[in-house]
């Protein structure tokens, strides 16, 4: 008897995080998308991996990911609906051997397909896996205060990161490698995917100016936690930016933090 895939731990994880991000106001309407690299051992107890429902053109070359399995949010889908109807709003796909097609194993039951940001996701997965074999998750969300900050702050990565580091003590500990920043670009195409992946060679987090943020990690918790920490720092910044700043966390103190927690700040970004 075939198991109910909706009860699989990886499906439940995606249902919970999409509901949480919608509740936080980060993913209005059909905003935001998630892709989560799965292992055959995780999926096989829930699905017949030899049964392909349909083939979906990938619209770009994903050959480095050939044979890999992902659960991906659907294009045009609302995060608020995922938990109630995962089979229409999510899909489990396998990158075909040619790298040009996606084999749908479950989901997108209403005829849907993966997020239009899939090129950015897959290019990011390729880069991050090359740097960290334990990498598994890409989350894109419209974190409100991060977006707000891109309107009023320099988009120079060192400046942007240093401001975030100074807002919360935990920031240096959580993302000592800093935050990448892209200027406004048209979303949903390969150009922004290529630019994002290029940044992901150096960063685990990339801000899309006036749009949102991309976060990566070994798990949904890690990727979300990175984004959540940046968003909290950005919120503090937009609350205080119009006021006189009497004190902040100085570079010497950021260095003390880094040493205490055994992390290495991006070289040259502290004035110490």
CATH number at residue 268: 3.40.225.10
Give the pLDDT band of residue 46 (cuts 50, 70, 90): very high
Which residues are identified as catalytic?
Answer: 117
> Would you place residue 208 in the very low, low, confident or very high pLDDT band (cuts 50, 70, 90)?
very high
pLDDT at 2: 60
**Phi-psi region at 87: left, alpha or beta (left = phi > 0; alpha = psi -120 to 50):** alpha
Distance of CA 113 to the CA centre of its chain: 19
CA distance 269 to 80: 39
- Does residue 94 register a pLDDT over 60? yes
Q: What is the mean pLDDT of the chain?
A: 95
If one counts the domains in the chain, the total is: 2
Helix or strand run (H / E) with residue 148 = helix 144-152
Between residues 145 and 2, the one the model is more confident about: 145
Range of the domain at 30: 1-115
Looking at the fold, whether 70 and 6 belong to one and the same domain comes out as yes
Show which of 82, 115, 148 is a domain's final residue: 115
pLDDT at site 1:
43
Residues 268 and 184 in one domain: yes
Is pLDDT of 178 > 70? yes
Beta strands in 66-136 (DSSP E): 69-73, 90-95, 101-107
Backbone angles phi and psi of 34, in degrees to 5: -135, 140
């Amino acid at each position: 008897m075939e198991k109910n895939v909706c009860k699989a731990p990886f499906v439940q994880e995606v249902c919970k995080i999409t509901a949480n991000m919608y509740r936080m106001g980060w993913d209005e309407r059909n905003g935001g998308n998630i892709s989560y690299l799965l292992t055959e051992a995780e999926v096989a107890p829930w699905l017949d991996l030899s049964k392909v429902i349909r083939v979906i053109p990938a619209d770009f070359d994903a050959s480095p990911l050939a044979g890999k399995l992902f659960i991906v949010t659907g294009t045009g889908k609302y995060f608020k609906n995922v938990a109630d109807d995962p089979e229409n709003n999510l899909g489990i796909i396998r990158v075909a051997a040619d790298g040009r097609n996606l084999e749908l194993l479950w989901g997108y039951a209403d005829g849907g397909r993966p997020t239009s940001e899939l090129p950015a996701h897959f290019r990011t997965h390729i880069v991050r896996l090359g740097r960290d074999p334990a990498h598994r998750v890409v989350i894109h969300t419209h974190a409100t205060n991060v977006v707000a900050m891109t309107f009023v702050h320099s988009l120079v990565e060192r400046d942007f990161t240093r401001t975030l580091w100074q807002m919360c003590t935990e920031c240096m500990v959580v993302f000592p490698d800093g935050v990448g920043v892209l200027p406004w670009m048209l979303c949903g195409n390969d150009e922004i995917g290529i630019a994002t992946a290029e940044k992901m060679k150096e960063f685990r987090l990339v801000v899309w100016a006036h749009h949102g943020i991309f976060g990566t990690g070994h798990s949904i918790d890690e990727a979300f936690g990175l984004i959540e920490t940046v968003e909290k720092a950005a919120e503090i910044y937009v609350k205080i930016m119009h006021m006189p700043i009497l004190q902040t966390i100085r570079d010497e103190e950021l260095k003390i933090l880094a040493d205490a927690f055994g992390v290495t700040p991006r070289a040259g970004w502290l004035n110490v």
